Amino acid sequence: MSEANSEKENIMRLLLSGQEESIQLGLIIAESLQLEREIKQDIDIALNWFTRQMHSSIQGKLKAIHKVKNVNLSGQDLTSIPCQIQYVINLQSLDLSNNQLVRLPPKITNCTNLTILNLTGNPLLFLPPGMNELTKLVKLSFVGTRIAAPERERIRSALPNCETIFE
């Protein structure tokens, strides 16, 4: 028998040994354990309800996110960016530097108010098509990425009014 089981057995024997105080204490503990189970069930029900509410009102939450103008997610070891970034329509500055991004979601091109995009220090190989939609982009940093020369030229051609920094 393990030491933990032995301790539980000893406690059970001590509490339920037939003495009136022990029996009362045993009943209190039993009630406490029942209450604990009920509280856990209530918490589980509350969490499930909250999750359902969160999912049902996600569109409302996304409408509020349109006010965000600056997002700094640098140094978070991110491997991807959720496509929901497209809903941050007033986003002007996005710092994704020093993460583990190998690609960006195509929907990032919906962030047409973006003026600064920092992708420094990510193992990116290319950018999604449609980057030319980001006409307000004035600064794009790629220092320390894996973007090859042909892709660099494509980016420069797509964004002629944007300062592109590769090194």
pLDDT tops 70 at residue 129 = yes
Do 98 and 132 belong to one domain? Answer: yes
Do 122 and 40 belong to one domain? Answer: no
Do 135 and 79 belong to one domain? Answer: yes
Do 47 and 100 belong to one domain? Answer: no
Is residue 120 within 8 A of residue 145, CB to CB? The reply is yes
Do 88 and 47 belong to one domain? Answer: no
| pTM given for the model | 0.62
* CATH code at position 111: 3.80.10.10
Do 52 and 72 belong to one domain? Answer: no
Is residue 82 within 8 A of residue 58, CB to CB? The reply is no
Q: What's the domain count of the chain? A: 2
Do 74 and 145 belong to one domain? Answer: yes
Do 78 and 38 belong to one domain? Answer: no
| Domain termination site, one of 56, 77, 95 | 56
pLDDT tops 90 at residue 150 = yes
H helices present in the chain, as ranges = 3-15, 20-56, 58-64, 149-158
pLDDT tops 60 at residue 59 = no
Is residue 152 within 8 A of residue 166, CB to CB? The reply is yes
Residue span of the structural domain in which 16 resides: 3-56
pLDDT digits (tens, 9 = 90+) for 82-125: 877 888 888 999 999 999 999 999 999 999 999 999 999 999 99
